[in-house]
């Protein structure tokens, strides 16, 4: 599920900004941009984040903003001189003036080097407190989005259930029309028929056309989908599996329909199911 969380804090004269962003993913995919002082803590930080996020593509960034009076970077004097010499050579070879503005040179690679900063235990503890705050805000963000997602999924399931009722109202008419069409075709052939054998074959054919079993299973899957939605633990994958079962019953219903109005309803069900599948990917 998508989400965002942010926290800011002051530690030893340094302003720390912690940001968490998440996107949908079937597994837990973690990327971190950490200050040098905390890079050795990446595995521990990852485990803390995973306990809360469970799954998803998660990006964590911890940025340092040094207050005035405390240097975060040192200028590599030798690198700057080397760049200046190369610019002078370009001028001599091309006859064109090359910019020697320091503000441009400072943007070139290897000019600035981060200051060596070591984080003590108390400082790291404050960082973890900030991470916990960012995670809490991420959870709050997800919770708000989850309520909207719940309502949307419930609406699509309700729409499928209402269409099941429409199919049930048409199933007797469907069978009667199918019988009439078969009788008409046999009458057009003007062949003598064994009535007993014909009746047996007709019963067998009508049984194959029966859609009661598909409708019962489809209703059961929709009810189970709603029950699963109301469970408190992570059920995203389970909802995806139930959606697949719903799809199988809808496809079978369409294959056995032999009725124009029911075919239209089946198409509407498939449209609702596609929306459910898309949204299920957002559920943990």
pLDDT digits (tens, 9 = 90+) for 177-192: 777 777 676 666 666 6
Which of the four pLDDT bands, split at 50, 70 and 90, describes residue 99?
Answer: low
Query: What confidence score (pLDDT) does residue 73 get?
Result: 61
Whole-number mean pLDDT of the chain? Answer: 81
Whether 2 has a pLDDT exceeding 50, the answer reads yes
32 against 15, higher pLDDT:
32
Which of the four pLDDT bands, split at 50, 70 and 90, describes residue 126?
Answer: confident
Whether 68 has a pLDDT exceeding 50, the answer reads no
Whether 156 has a pLDDT exceeding 90, the answer reads yes
Cα(200)–Cα(203) distance, rounded to whole angstroms? Answer: 5
Which of the four pLDDT bands, split at 50, 70 and 90, describes residue 52?
Answer: confident
**Cα atoms found within 13 Å of the Cα of residue 129, Cβ hemisphere only:** 11
Query: What confidence score (pLDDT) does residue 108 get?
Result: 66
Domain positions in the chain are 3-70+120-141, 73-105, 143-280
Query: What confidence score (pLDDT) does residue 275 get?
Result: 92
Dihedral angle of Cα 23, 20, 31, 48, to the nearest 10 degrees: -110
Which of the four pLDDT bands, split at 50, 70 and 90, describes residue 69?
Answer: very low
Q: Burial level of 232, CB count in 10 A (0-12/13-18/19+)?
A: exposed
Which distant-in-sequence residues (6+ apart) come within 8 Å of 152 by Cβ?
A: 275, 279
Which distant-in-sequence residues (6+ apart) come within 8 Å of 49 by Cβ?
A: 20, 30, 58, 60, 131, 135
Cα(89)–Cα(51) distance, rounded to whole angstroms? Answer: 56
67 contacts 14 by C-beta, under 8 angstroms:
yes
234 against 23, higher pLDDT:
23
Residue ranges of E strands in the chain = 3-11, 14-23, 28-33, 56-66, 73-75, 112-114
Query: What confidence score (pLDDT) does residue 163 get?
Result: 94
50 contacts 89 by C-beta, under 8 angstroms:
no
Residue ranges of E strands in 83-195 = 112-114
Whether 211 has a pLDDT exceeding 90, the answer reads no
H helix intervals, 15-120: 42-53, 77-94, 102-105
φ and ψ at 14, to 5 degrees? -115, 135
Pick the CATH number of 3-70+120-141 from 3.30.230.10, 3.40.630.30, 3.40.640.10, 3.30.450.40: 3.30.230.10
Give me the percent of the chain exceeding a pLDDT of 70: 77
Cα(245)–Cα(221) distance, rounded to whole angstroms? Answer: 7
* pLDDT tens digits, one per residue of 83-92: 777 777 777 7
| Residue 133, phi-psi category: left (phi > 0), alpha (psi -120 to 50), beta (remainder) | alpha
* pLDDT tens digits, one per residue of 133-144: 999 998 888 888
235 against 32, higher pLDDT:
32
| The two three-digit tokens of residue 16, written as one number | 């720390």
pTM attached to this predicted model: 0.63
* pLDDT tens digits, one per residue of 229-269: 888 776 778 888 999 999 999 999 988 888 889 999 999 99
- Paired strand residues for 61: 19, 33
């Amino acid at each position: 599920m998508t989400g965002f969380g942010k926290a800011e804090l002051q530690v030893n004269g340094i302003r720390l900004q912690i940001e968490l962003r998440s996107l949908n993913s079937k597994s837990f995919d973690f990327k971190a941009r950490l200050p040098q002082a905390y890079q050795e803590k990446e595995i521990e930080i990852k485990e803390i984040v995973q306990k809360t996020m469970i799954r998803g593509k998660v990006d964590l960034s911890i940025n340092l903003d040094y207050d005035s009076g405390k240097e975060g970077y040192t200028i590599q004097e030798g690198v700057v001189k080397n760049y200046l010499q190369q610019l002078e050579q370009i001028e001599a070879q091309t006859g064109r003036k090359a910019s020697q503005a320091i503000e441009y040179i400072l943007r070139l690679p290897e000019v600035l080097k981060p200051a060596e900063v070591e984080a003590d235990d108390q400082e790291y503890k404050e960082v973890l407190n900030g991470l916990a705050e960012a995670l809490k805000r991420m959870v709050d963000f997800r919770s708000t989005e989850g309520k909207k997602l719940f309502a949307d999924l419930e609406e699509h399931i309700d729409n499928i259930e209402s269409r099941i009722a429409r199919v049930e109202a048409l199933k007797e008419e469907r069978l009667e029309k199918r019988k009439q069409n078969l009788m008409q075709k046999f009458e057009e052939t003007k062949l003598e028929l064994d009535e007993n054998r014909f009746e047996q074959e007709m019963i067998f054919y009508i049984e194959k056309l029966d859609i009661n079993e598909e409708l019962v299973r489809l209703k059961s899957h929709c009810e189970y989908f709603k029950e699963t939605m109301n469970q408190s633990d992570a059920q995203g994958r389970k909802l995806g599996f139930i959606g697949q079962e719903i799809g199988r019953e809808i496809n079978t219903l369409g294959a056995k329909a032999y009725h124009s109005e029911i075919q239209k309803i089946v198409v509407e069900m498939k449209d609702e199911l596609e929306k459910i599948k898309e949204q299920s990917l957002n559920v943990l």
